[in-house]
């Protein structure tokens, strides 16, 4: 398994997954309603989802159906076409220059559109401009990667965002991903002034996560033995279960909430040590964590995101990604399930996949490279044999 940072970004984008890498002006935020345990069901809404068949999309469909809303999915019909046989499906292409383009959406009306599959501003502008006269609200799934200064902690929705030439080549890289997402936010807001809800998730995790970023850790810890753990255990980590993200989005669609929200979790900060120990408790394994200092990882060119997913050194160039402010989302009703539930459900889902897929993990340290790095670390520290810190 050969992993590259850029490759994981591109793969995650192709899977319809929001990344926490990269770099976008902030839309004006509207008033924030207070949190509630559960909103009473109101008038059913008609909701169009651009995408809807991968990871976050199905979670949104399921949550919306639970709440009594009517769904329409618009996509190319290539991914999981058998999902949701009772939901209306329209086929076309987000790119209006390809095939039938957006023709299937012309003249149709919905209360809300949720855009889960927009990565380039030209594409988002095309759908937003077309739908603006006939749709009440545009929800765009962006990313916390939009922020310019990713070294800073407690970034809130007013923090400066990254920029890129709108005419730049449409290619997702670690440099362009967040900035393109920022331009997409602006395109949605321009077409729907005062009627746009821009959601900036962190790592989206849980069952159906085809990127394997979060999934790597439950699988590796469950395997037991000596586990290479990055840093000193104190680096903060953030992620959100796709089902909790979907619930937040549908709740705020029902409330007609507008503006921009960082949406990640947990709602109470945790660090990498707490995260891994929590995973070990769920799996019941004999995993022993050897904490390997950040400078050594950098020297050995072990790559965050690709080989060490979820984690970023708090003193590094992306140290702020594990400590983004989510206070506004909490006030708007964000709730998250316990870590144990996400770990347990993710493992159960992954073990239902075909054996050949389970053997080809898309993120994490390959076993032979982990052994090599642990041996090099012990040699550098003069410990000789493997000695793990509990």
Domains and CATH numbers, the chain: 40-201 (3.40.50.720), 209-239+267-319+338-377 (3.90.25.10)
Token pair in block for residue 56: 């976050």
Q: What is the pLDDT along the chain (390 residues), one digit of tens a residue?
A: 445 544 545 555 555 554 444 333 333 444 555 444 568 888 999 999 999 999 999 999 999 999 999 999 999 999 999 999 999 999 999 999 999 999 999 999 999 999 999 999 999 999 999 999 999 999 999 999 999 999 999 999 999 999 999 899 999 998 899 999 999 999 999 999 999 999 999 999 999 999 999 999 999 999 999 999 999 999 999 999 999 999 999 999 999 999 999 999 999 999 999 999 999 999 999 999 999 999 999 999 998 888 999 999 999 989 999 999 999 999 999 999 999 999 999 999 999 999 999 999 999 999 999 999 999 999 999 875 444 444
pTM equals 0.91
């Amino acid at each position: 398994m050969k992993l590259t940072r850029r490759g994981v970004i591109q793969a995650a984008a192709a899977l319809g997954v929001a990344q926490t890498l990269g770099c976008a002006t902030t839309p004006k935020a509207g008033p924030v309603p207070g949190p509630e345990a559960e909103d009473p069901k109101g008038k059913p809404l008609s909701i169009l989802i651009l995408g809807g068949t991968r990871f976050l999309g199905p979670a949104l469909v399921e949550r919306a159906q639970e709440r009594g809303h009517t769904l329409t999915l618009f996509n190319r019909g290539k991914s999981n076409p058998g999902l949701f046989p009772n939901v209306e499906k329209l086929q076309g292409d987000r790119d209006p220059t390809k095939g039938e383009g957006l023709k299937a959406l012309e003249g149709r009306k919905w209360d809300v559109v949720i855009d889960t599959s927009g990565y380039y501003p030209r594409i988002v502008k095309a759908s937003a401009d077309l739908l603006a006269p006939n749709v009440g609200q545009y929800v765009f799934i962006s990313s916390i990667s939009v922020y310019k200064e990713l070294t800073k902690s407690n970034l809130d929705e007013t923090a400066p965002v990254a920029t890129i030439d709108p005419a730049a080549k449409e290619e997702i890289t670690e440099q362009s991903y967040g900035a393109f997402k920022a331009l997409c936010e602006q395109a949605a807001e321009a077409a729907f002034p005062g009627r746009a809800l821009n959601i900036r998730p962190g790592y989206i995790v849980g069952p159906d996560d085809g990127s394997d970023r979060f999934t790597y850790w439950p699988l590796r810890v469950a395997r037991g033995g000596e586990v290479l753990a990055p840093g000193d255990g104190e680096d903060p980590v953030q992620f959100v279960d796709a089902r909790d993200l979907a619930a937040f989005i549908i709740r705020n669609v029902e409330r007609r909430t507008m503006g921009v929200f960082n949406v990640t979790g947990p709602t109470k900060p945790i660090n990498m040590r707490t995260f891994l120990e929590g995973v070990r408790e769920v799996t019941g394994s004999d995993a022993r964590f050897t904490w390997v200092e950040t400078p050594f990882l950098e020297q050995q060119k072990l790559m965050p995101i690709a080989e060490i997913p979820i984690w970023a050194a708090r003193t590094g160039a992306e140290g702020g990604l594990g400590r983004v402010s989510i206070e506004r989302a909490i006030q708007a009703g964000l709730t998250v399930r316990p870590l144990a539930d996400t770990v347990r459900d993710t493992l159960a889902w992954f073990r239902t996949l075909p054996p050949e897929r389970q053997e080809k993990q898309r993120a994490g340290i390959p076993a032979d490279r982990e052994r090599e790095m642990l041996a090099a670390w012990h040699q550098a520290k003069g410990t000789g044999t493997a000695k793990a810190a509990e």
